[in-house]
Structure 1
Amino acid sequence: MRSRRRTMLALLAAGLAIGVLGALGSCSADPATDSNATVTTDPVIHPLSLRYPGIDVVTDVPYGADALQRLDVCLPPDSAPDTKTTPTAAPTPSPRPSPATDDAADRRGGRPAVMMVHGGSWSHGDKATAAYRAVCEYLASEGFVTVNVDYRLAPTDPFPAGLDDVRRALDWVFRPSTLATYDIDAARVGVFGGSAGGNLVALLAVTDHESAAYAAGDRIRAVVDLSGPTDLTERSTRADGVSASFQRKQLLYLGCRTYTACPAAERASPTSHVTRDTAPFFVGHSTDEFIPLWESQEFVAALRAHDVPVTFVAVEGSAHSIAQLDRAMSERVVAFLHARLG
């Protein structure tokens, strides 16, 4: 009871009164609209419980020269045989095409795509782990060409290496050869991440307007962030913040010894960079997990202050990241992506 009371007080303090829409199995809320829900989840990760006949996975496609700059592509079951190949991938970064070099009409049509980024405290994790591969195949089974990304890890490669990599991977998605090979519609691309991956896709989305090709229309159209840390500043070290062990992981990722002399902390915090140009968000966060609920609450408040559409789902319990994805939560995420990416 104390835990629930603390959770309710936190919700009220953040100014985000969450309407109880019933158990997660009742998906009456429209996931395309600005909405809140408090839900309970099943302990089973739904995508792991399924089989995926007809889903092909193109593995270890390079989007850069580093050994970790690799991605997998999970293809929907209706994919043509000639999409099950690897397009030529430049080992060095290349900017997205501009209208002067690429016919926009040739970039429309095709299928929606989602780029996934795995978690692991920015220091470990792998696109090929069973859970993330299952989510990749699950999204593909729902009709999304799904790009599952590895990236350079801390402490060997601290911030902004991971962010640079996911931006480079997104540029790879928008390359004309990628769009043609995998039949992707450049106007229907979203991103999905859990935990550290949630932080990276959120940061990618809130800074997307800084991309040189944003005006050309190559932009993120939808974001799914599950348990992503959104405030890596000294604020996260207070009594209601993250544990001492996670603080050390954050500092290793940020490349800093302390929070008081760490300009990277604010640069790596999505809450600090929201604009009116930010894409619509689906944010899922558990009430009692190790990333405090207030991080997502304050991030959602910042999004709404800039009139960014948000679906915010607070999950009762301690399920972290993609562990939230029981059947009904998976269906909520997919409904949001379908609504936003058409």
Structure 2
Amino acid sequence: MRRVSGMLVAVGLAAGLAAGCGAPSRDAMNAKLQTQQEKLSASNYQSTAKMTVQMENGSQTYYIETDYDSPEVYKIALGDANKNINQIIVRNGSGMFVVSPTLQKVFRFNGNWAQNQGHIYLYDQILHQLSTSPDVKVSKKGDVYTFTMPITPENDIVAKQQVDLSVNTLEPKKVVLYDKENKAVVTIEFTSFQTGVKYQQADFDPQKLASSGAVKTTTVQDSQFTFVEPQEILGDKQDLSDQLSATDWLLRYTGPYDFTLEEWRPDPGVAGVPGGKLVDLFGVPAVLAGSGNAQRLMWIHNGVQFSLTSDKLSLDQMKEVAISTFGQVGK
């Protein structure tokens, strides 16, 4: 359940690890990472971190708490700067889930998100990337090893990744994602890391996690539900803002890229998303579903559920539109 192939480490590093000034030799680094993965395969861990996401209209700060029991059992709690948990990504024997404790909402979907996008939160995936990327470069400064590598596959949001590990323990210290102009888009600073944590099965139960938070009550002011406009509309123009109900708005944008954005107050319960896969909006998990060219991206932010639908937008473009709604105030 927790086996990690040492052969992958050897092959990946021998093929692509370039040592910088002050860094150990290729064989020495190979041995260090191989030993660390062997230790991790026989243990579990908990980490906490602060994540800062840079946007055109400022920045957002998130709290991240990761509980990892095995590659098949883990959870990633995402909260605000005050450590109020808003959503939890859960993997267990029954599948993948996104849980919103304050809304008592659970999304269930398929897919192995950790191998595809979860590497910036999960230490085992950080080690896996360092061992298998064909273009890793490493340098040493003081008590930190710094690894850099291009993002694969390429996308329009981030182009390069930097990982800092402790020289003495190889524990994670920092992960930074850069755009094509070499500007930091996402910075994760680890604040704690410990192994040998005692977990219970209930710790990874999405239903129990959904009922663990304080349920948000709707006030008179909250009931006057208004919509949030995305800042990034890719040259389109809004030609419709229709209030479908007291807590549901539909926005339509037309132009080079046609898309609709629906926003509403979600009801408690479990929602299955057949064929859906988890997409990371850097601090806010989203679920992508659809068939053919028509795709739908769904996420929850500040107690509002969003659904972005288009048959022209690429996934990267959908992510740009979605992220541009963060920090916006409803109209």
TM-score normalised by the shorter chain: which range applies?
under 0.3
- Structure with higher RCO (Cα < 8 A, 6+ apart): 1
TM-score w.r.t. structure 1 length? Answer: 0.24
TM-score w.r.t. structure 2 length? Answer: 0.24
Report which of the two has the higher share of helix. Answer: 1
Report which of the two has the higher share of strand. Answer: 2
